Amino acid sequence: MGRRQDLIDTALRLFYEHGIHAIGINQVLQEAGVAKQTLYNHFESKDSLVEAAVEHRDKLFFQWLESRMNSQPAGREALMEMFDAVHDWFNDRVPSLQRFYGCFFINTCGEYSDPDHPVHRRCAAHKTKVFELLKRHALEICTSETEADELANALFLLKEGAIVKAHVEGDLDAALKAKAIASRMISPH
Amino acid sequence: MGRRQDLIDTALRLFYEHGIHAIGINQVLQEAGVAKQTLYNHFESKDSLVEAAVEHRDKLFFQWLESRMNSQPAGREALMEMFDAVHDWFNDRVPSLQRFYGCFFINTCGEYSDPDHPVHRRCAAHKTKVFELLKRHALEICTSETEADELANALFLLKEGAIVKAHVEGDLDAALKAKAIASRMISPH
DNA sequence: TTAATGGTAGACAGATCTGTCTATTTTGGT
DNA sequence: ACCAAAATAGACAGATCTGTCTACCATTAA
């Protein structure tokens, strides 16, 4: 299981930093130290490798975020912790997520605009999973399902907006500002 | 001024739909009906054409958004109108902005991660311009500069989040949900 | 010892990429 | 009508792209 994972790790690292269409298979092979035939033994095409990279990033990111949130009491504290977590991410304090180049899933959808493409679908599935995670915690502090849905949605939009602002404009405090807004939304009383 | 603009229009259309590195110069030339030498008379490289396309999209988008907001009284109404405007954009009711494929500037930064690259800088400048537009209107209804800054920031993050959610997850009502949140933030009293 | 497995190295095909060059034609101003 | 500027078609170079193929090597199991 070594070579396959080496390929995925290297591909993800390069795709995330430079975009997918900007990176050729040969560069992945060279930096991974793997022969070309080995790649095509494990994957039937470059797109297939891309899918595996997206899947891997999904696992890496989601498990990291979930465990960060689980380090706090469910509900309000966990939701606030999310903003501290992405703040660490923006400021390159999460080595397992690599240096910050925005959201890999957002960036990837920019290169795969067709919503039916398997790569785009995996990115969408990731975002939905994160939303559901937020909603689980929102349910802890809301009195109705729809209220929880609305809260989770608001926090989700703030988080996505912060990612974009941090990456495009280089605003490294975007997460903290988003947290301040979120904080006022949850307990403005 | 005909050929040069034809090239920019065609390049922008293709870059926006498929991403920049996925589109070759030859395809732009063919679809624009322009000869290769003509391109290199007007632009010194593909990157130079990319810059022009980003600049053009900036002008197109900003003027459209500004005029939509100016159709309403400055302040609260104009800020709310922003969400209606992007809602129309998400649902393909703004022909001048082309079919919706997310935010061209966000997508482009996904392919040009270096924040010092001219293309990335132009994208950042666009976002900053939009933020300043929001802040101008926020100042109309806020009692202090910092309060206006915070309001503009909150609305900006909600808008960016909605763009991402609409594109990645295909949520065509993302703008309306963002508007509802924003509405509660401006006048919760 | 032999056979199967899985990796390596690298040539190769065929397509496509950016950018240059030449030679011809079209266009617009005077 | 004439001339200069601008656009055209298309060959071309040199690089790079994905994917296939062959030949060789290392390990391991029968």
In a domain, B104, yes or no: yes
What pLDDT was estimated at residue B80? 98
CA atoms within 13 A on the CB side of A143: 0
CB contact under 8 A, A157 and B150: no
pLDDT > 70 in chain B, percent: 98
Output the pLDDT for position A189: 39
What are the chain A neighbours of B189 within 8 Å (beta carbons)? none
Q: Are A96 and A64 in contact (CB under 8 A)?
A: yes
pLDDT at A1 over 80: no
- Residue A23: strand, helix, or coil: coil
A79 vs A135: CA distance, rounded Å: 10
Query: Structurally, how many domains does chain A consist of?
Result: 1
Residue A56 located in a structural domain:
yes
Q: How far does A1 lie from chain B, in Å, by closest CA?
A: 30
Contact residues, chain A, for B127 at CB < 8 Å: 164-165, 168-169
Distance separating alpha carbons of residues A119 and A60, to the nearest angstrom: 17
Query: Is there a domain that residue A137 lies in?
Result: yes
The set of residues, in sequence order, having a beta carbon less than 8 Å from that of A158 and lying 6+ positions away, is: A178, A181, A182, B154, B157, B158, B161
Q: What is the CATH number of the domain that holds B51?
A: 1.10.357.10
CB atoms within 10 A of CB B157: 25
**Residue partners of B5: CB distance under 8 A and separation at least 6:** none
Asked whether residue A85 carries a pLDDT value surpassing 50, the answer given is yes
Looking up tokens 């390049």 gives B11
Residue B118 belongs to a domain: yes
Q: Is the CB of B47 under 7 A from strand C?
A: yes
Can you give the distance from the CA of residue B27 to the C1' of nucleotide D4 in angstroms? Answer: 31
Asked whether residue A46, judged by its CB, lies under 7 Å from any atom of the DNA or RNA strand C, the reply is: no
Q: What pLDDT sits at residue B189?
A: 40
Q: Gap from A135 CA to C24 C1', in Å?
A: 68
Strand C nucleotides within 7 Å of a protein CB: 6-11, 16-23
List chain B residues with CB under 8 Å of A119.
none
Distance, in Å, from the CA atom of A120 to the CA atom of A107, rounded to the nearest integer, reads 10
DSSP string across B125-144 = HHHHHHHHHHHHHHHHH-SS
Domain limits at A87? 45-186
Inter-chain residue contact A161 with B157, CB threshold 8 Å: yes
Averaged pLDDT score across all residues of chain A: 96
B30 in a structural domain: no
Question: Tens digit of pLDDT for each residue in B60-96?
Answer: 999 999 999 999 999 999 999 999 999 999 999 999 9
Residue A105 has pLDDT above 70, yes or no: yes
